[in-house]
Copies of this chain bind each other. A is one copy, B any other.
Amino acid sequence: MSAKQTSLPTTKQPYLLRNREGTQVLIGTQLVTVIASAASSGGLFELVSISGCLGDSFPAHRHNRAHEGIYVLEGRVEVTLGSERYLLTAGDYAHIPAGTVHAYTLRSHNARLLSLTSKGEVGKLYAHVGMATDLHVHPPQNEAVDLSALLAEPIAGVDVELVAATAVGEAQLVTNVTVPDAVVPYVIASGGGTHLIAGRDLYIFLAANANTDGEFLVLDNLGPAGNAIIQHLHEKHTETFLCTAGQMTMWCNGEEYRMHPGDFLHVPAGTIHSFRMDAHYTRFFSVLSPGIFEPFFHTLGTPYAGYIFPVEPGPARFDRLMQKVQAGELDLKIVGPPPDGSGGPGGPGGPPSGH
């Protein structure tokens, strides 16, 4: 297995997609780009990006089995969660457990969001209501699509149920920064979440096992340019990397990739991988599924009160990590040294990163 694949594969394997690449479906002026399908993730999750014109929307519906996360990549997106209405801006996250009535409306020109759903039973809806396309960006106009009519009847094997809208009142800007400790709907402002520091790298949980019944973790990751981490693999869970700011290098089964905002790497169980942040301010959005790797972040990381990484490195608890790795308590198999020849995070420098 290598990650030479650079279009969406039909079987579970490592693959790289560049910004706005995947499998595309057009629904009116909304472009849905499938970044991870039930097939490519082995049924663990589906990840799509959706972009469109001001006012484009998806009517109130619920998933009866799938948990969902919405992360805004560009512009403003109004998201209805039960009886609440929120205005999300880029970097904000909404968590939508199974059963929650939700809807969205794009509130700026060319807004773009990520939608993550668990279990692999939602994505087929897009092909059902839209048309395959080779466009990589939403068009300025198109024939309108009546999603409410198309979704009025249940679709066999698709976990989407159209329901009456329940929200009232004005949309509120997202300011909350705290992740609750239960499977409930919530929103998190960009930069917020549960912060852990390891050196100068910030791990920020947007959703943990307590929010997803253990189905997935969602993290926002933030750091300065640094060294590559050790080459490792996971035997039981998939990890994904979607660069949202700056630049990073990823190594994946012997291939090396320079990643920029919007680029996505799928790293299923068994894939040898490493990464390095290369820009002064690098950020990536990651999904891990199932959520068994949550203890890793609390082991290497330490709770942190800031919203940006510190000037001086914080603790990086490799001592605790090695203990747990040796005890076989983490889904982490160390395979080799950092692939850039560096001493790893906090160690002596590897090759100059540059651009």
Question: What residue in chain B is nearest A283 (Cβ atoms)?
Answer: B110
A246 proximity list for chain B (CB < 8 A):
19, 262
Question: What residue in chain B is nearest A6 (Cβ atoms)?
Answer: B355
Check if A89 sits within 8 Å of B75, measured CB to CB: yes
Question: What residue in chain B is nearest A140 (Cβ atoms)?
Answer: B306
Question: What residue in chain B is nearest A191 (Cβ atoms)?
Answer: B109
Interface pick from A59-67, A230-238, A308-316: A308-316
Check if A19 sits within 8 Å of B139, measured CB to CB: no
Check if B261 sits within 8 Å of A245, measured CB to CB: yes
Known contacts A136-B281, A281-B19: does B141 contact A109 (CB below 8 Å)?
no
A306 proximity list for chain B (CB < 8 A):
140-141
Which residues of A from 304 to 340 have beta carbons under 8 Å from B? 305-311
A128 proximity list for chain B (CB < 8 A):
none
Measured in the bound complex, the distance between the Cα atoms of B173 and A307 in whole Å is 24
What's the minimum C-beta distance from A192 to chain B, rounded to whole angstroms? Answer: 7
Verify if A247 is at the interface (C-beta below 8 Å from B). yes
Question: What residue in chain B is nearest A177 (Cβ atoms)?
Answer: B109
Interface size class of A (residues with CB under 8 A): 35 or more
Check if B189 sits within 8 Å of A308, measured CB to CB: no
What's the minimum C-beta distance from A138 to chain B, rounded to whole angstroms? Answer: 6
Measured in the bound complex, the distance between the Cα atoms of B262 and A19 in whole Å is 16
What's the minimum C-beta distance from A107 to chain B, rounded to whole angstroms? Answer: 8
Check if A108 sits within 8 Å of B137, measured CB to CB: no
A54 proximity list for chain B (CB < 8 A):
191, 307
A109-B190, A109-B191 known, 15 other contacts, Cβ within 8 Å: A18-B355, A19-B281, A20-B279, A89-B90, A109-B177, A109-B189, A110-B190, A110-B191, A110-B307, A136-B224, A137-B308, A138-B308, A140-B308, A245-B261, A260-B261
A20 proximity list for chain B (CB < 8 A):
279-281
User: A148-191 toward B: CB 8 Å interface, digit per residue (1/0)?
Assistant: 00000000000000000000000001000100000000000111
A108 proximity list for chain B (CB < 8 A):
89, 91, 189-191
Measured in the bound complex, the distance between the Cα atoms of B162 and A145 in whole Å is 53
